Amino acid sequence: LKMERRRGMDTSKRAAARRWVILVVGAFLSTLCCPDVGSLAATPRELYADAQACHRRLVASSKKMERRDLWIACIERFQRVYKQDPDGPYAAAALHMTGVLYEQLHAISGRQSDRLEALDCFQRICKRYPTSSYCGKSSGSRTQATPKRSLKQRTRAAAAHSETSAAPPEAPAEPKNHREKRQGPSREPEREQLSHLVNVTGLRFWSNPTYTRLVIDAEGTADFTHHLLKKDPTLGKPQRLFVDLKNCQVGKGLQTTVPIQDDLLTQARAGQYTQDTVRVVLDTKSFESYKVFSLRDPFRVVIDVRGTQQQAPEREPVLAEKSPPGKKAAPGALAKQLALGVRRIVVDAGHGGKDFGAPGYHRGVHEKVVVLQIAKRLARKIREQTGCEVILTRDRDRFLTLEERTAIANTRNADLFISIHTNACPSGAGYGIETYFLNLATDDDSIMVAARENATSAKNISDLQTILQDLMQNSKINESSRLAGFVQDSVCRHLARKYSNIKDKGVKQAPFYVLLGAQMPAVLIETSFISNSRESKRLTDPAYQEELCDGIVAGIVRYIKDISPAVLARPERGPEKET
């Protein structure tokens, strides 16, 4: 054994010395701009042979096969081949063998992470080397988990397995022009599109240093699962998160690799994992938590990844600014005085662009137009009366997905999220004002409102309810509920001063897509019924909009004071209107 080990070491030393000489000579030649320097890249062949020898020695001894470190050592030798020359002729073969060895190791260790590493290797082959003969080569036992067996049984099984499927390729063949083929954006290889499979059509993302939202678009509904691959320190691999979409195929034109490069993720990549499964992998640097959920009509999968607090950029300290006695605080001073938890507010005008929202009772009146007018007015008033920074999700007539609106609020580290809508009911008789926060719907009317605002069916809302509990963890339910209470109350009281028939429909709860995943207190205000004759007319009236917005701002101010009790002790206040 000792001799064998020493021999192994000698071989590797010799190989290392040879590589070193070649490297030095190569560097020297390249300084002379020798056009033939590329021919020196024959080293992968030696590295490959070295890795093969390592593997042969390993599987020749059942004692050695029980040692994980020896498996990892051989795996690393194969990895060295494709890492050193990822476009070289041995790269695909080496990646294939890395997968094979992990597969065999899994048969012995029973570790899930080994199986997943193997799966990952086989998937990467098809993605990186689509024309390689190794693409799709290993599809046998690799999706099966290992049954519980004794170590001896497992070693024997792995040895048997290595004889059949793991015969190392002696002469890996790669197309000579593969370098040219891989230029340009990463696309999935041309593949016959199958009509019974759902096309995955897009990867979209929004990110800041502590938060990333990735959305996978598909042309139809798909079942999906998600998994976290633990980080493997022995390989220096970070943890990876992946989502498998069943009965799906990579759609034509899908950009399969999306570089993200924030503090949490390096990239997202999609690939045809099996004949009918698309896998989307998020290569992560580090993160604290994540959530995966789907939205309907159109179907999409949303992945929210969050970093730790330490990763959050430090906020500049909030200094309480004292007003001179007897003087009114200047605009903007309120936010500072309040020493607030609230400094940035996102105001979201619902719908827009091709999405008109609910039709108004009167001809030519559309929700998307009315809510934009209200949102702009509200933004101005919040700035004037609180000094808070306000971000509008849209300031013109343009289409925005619901998940993008929350993503804007999250990536901008907003402290409050206010979504503006108008209500509707088929009969036209319904009227009044209601304010929602995200939670399970408790009545059918709320489900109908959520279905309409989510542009989906009531049944889909019911389905969503069942998974909502999990999504709600860490969401600001209590704060949102309180904010909704203050806003609802203030709006109704403000409007009732000047208008008759103001109906306070109260604070309600329902699973609104636009509120899902919001990291700050978030509410959706159904300002009035656009389907009602009287309220449709009022909604388009600047005076009514003005009063409505004053009510919303007063509600926000009450909420801010409620969470910043110190403020109440201050005698001088900003020019906010109190109800």
Which residues contact Zn ion (rule: CB under 5 A)? 350, 357, 421, 453
State the sign of the Cα–Cα–Cα–Cα dihedral 380, 384, 388, 389. Answer: positive
Please, what is the minimum distance in Å from the beta carbon of residue 361 to Zn ion?
Answer: 15
Please, what is the minimum distance in Å from the beta carbon of residue 571 to Zn ion?
Answer: 42
Place of tokens 């609020």: 409
SS3 for 210-260, per residue? CEEEEEEEECCCCCEEEEEECCECCCCECCEEEEEEECEEECCCCECEEEC
Using the minimum distance from each CB to Zn ion, give the nearer residue, 8 or 298. 298
Using the minimum distance from each CB to Zn ion, give the nearer residue, 405 or 421. 421
Torsions phi, psi for 340 (to 5 deg): -80, 160
Please, what is the minimum distance in Å from the beta carbon of residue 453 to Zn ion?
Answer: 5
Using the minimum distance from each CB to Zn ion, give the nearer residue, 387 or 511. 511
Using the minimum distance from each CB to Zn ion, give the nearer residue, 229 or 372. 372
Using the minimum distance from each CB to Zn ion, give the nearer residue, 357 or 574. 357
Please, what is the minimum distance in Å from the beta carbon of residue 436 to Zn ion?
Answer: 11
Please, what is the minimum distance in Å from the beta carbon of residue 402 to Zn ion?
Answer: 10
- Which pair of tokens denotes residue 541? 């009236």
Using the minimum distance from each CB to Zn ion, give the nearer residue, 128 or 421. 421
Using the minimum distance from each CB to Zn ion, give the nearer residue, 224 or 436. 436
The three-point CA angle 266-272-276 to 5° equals 140
DSSP codes joined into one string, 334-373: HHHHTT-S--EEEEEE--BTTB--SBPSSTT-BHHHHHHH
Please, what is the minimum distance in Å from the beta carbon of residue 442 to Zn ion?
Answer: 20
Is 52 strand, coil or helix? Answer: helix
Using the minimum distance from each CB to Zn ion, give the nearer residue, 263 or 526. 526
Using the minimum distance from each CB to Zn ion, give the nearer residue, 117 or 367. 367
Residue nearest to Zn ion (CB): 421
> How far apart are alpha carbons 202 and 4 in whole angstroms?
53
Please, what is the minimum distance in Å from the beta carbon of residue 375 to Zn ion?
Answer: 12
Please, what is the minimum distance in Å from the beta carbon of residue 350 to Zn ion?
Answer: 4
Please, what is the minimum distance in Å from the beta carbon of residue 384 to Zn ion?
Answer: 26
Please, what is the minimum distance in Å from the beta carbon of residue 410 to Zn ion?
Answer: 21
Contacts 24+ apart (CB under 8 A), 138-146: 138/96, 138/99, 138/100, 138/103, 138/165, 139/274, 140/165, 141/103, 141/165, 142/99, 142/103, 142/115, 142/118, 143/119, 143/274, 145/112, 145/115, 146/106, 146/107, 146/110, 146/115
Closest CA to 510 of 561, 450, 562: 450
Using the minimum distance from each CB to Zn ion, give the nearer residue, 381 or 421. 421
> How far apart are alpha carbons 435 and 509 in whole angstroms?
8
Query: What's the alpha-carbon Rg for the chain, to the nearest Å?
Result: 30
> How far apart are alpha carbons 37 and 26 in whole angstroms?
6
Using the minimum distance from each CB to Zn ion, give the nearer residue, 79 or 446. 446
Torsions phi, psi for 17 (to 5 deg): -65, -40
Cβ atoms 525, 420 nearer than 8 A: yes
> How far apart are alpha carbons 485 and 559 in whole angstroms?
9
Please, what is the minimum distance in Å from the beta carbon of residue 498 to Zn ion?
Answer: 25
Torsions phi, psi for 256 (to 5 deg): -85, -15
The three-point CA angle 470-474-480 to 5° equals 105
